[in-house]
Amino acid sequence: MAHTSENKKPLLNRVRRIQGQLKSLELALEEGSECSGVLQQIAAVRGGINGLMMEVVEGHLRTHLVPVDGGHADELDDLIKIFRSYMK
């Protein structure tokens, strides 16, 4: 998993941001916040997780499955765009 080792700092920053979002969600539930606010926080957590997942998937695709020097850069970019649209 070389790509996760190389990008460790930004990945860990994303994880820490997600942890903060989860703490806020936990606090909102403990305090009995309105459903709309709780739902908004859940959506934020889901977006953070999806962003993290997409970053790792993209790194995996580019590093392990379709090396760009193989001449398939356009196809790989198209595949990544499809994944990104699916993860939204």
**84 CB contacts (<8 Å, ≥6 apart)?**
54
pLDDT tens-digit map of 14-57: 999 999 999 999 999 999 999 999 999 999 999 999 999 999 98
> Would you state the structure tokens that stand for residue 17, as one six-digit string?
């941001």
> pTM for the complete prediction?
0.79
pLDDT of 19: 98
pLDDT of 64: 78
List domains and CATH numbers for the chain: 3-87 (1.20.58.1000)
- Please tell me which residue, 58 or 73, carries the higher pLDDT value: 58
> Would you state the structure tokens that stand for residue 23, as one six-digit string?
């703490």
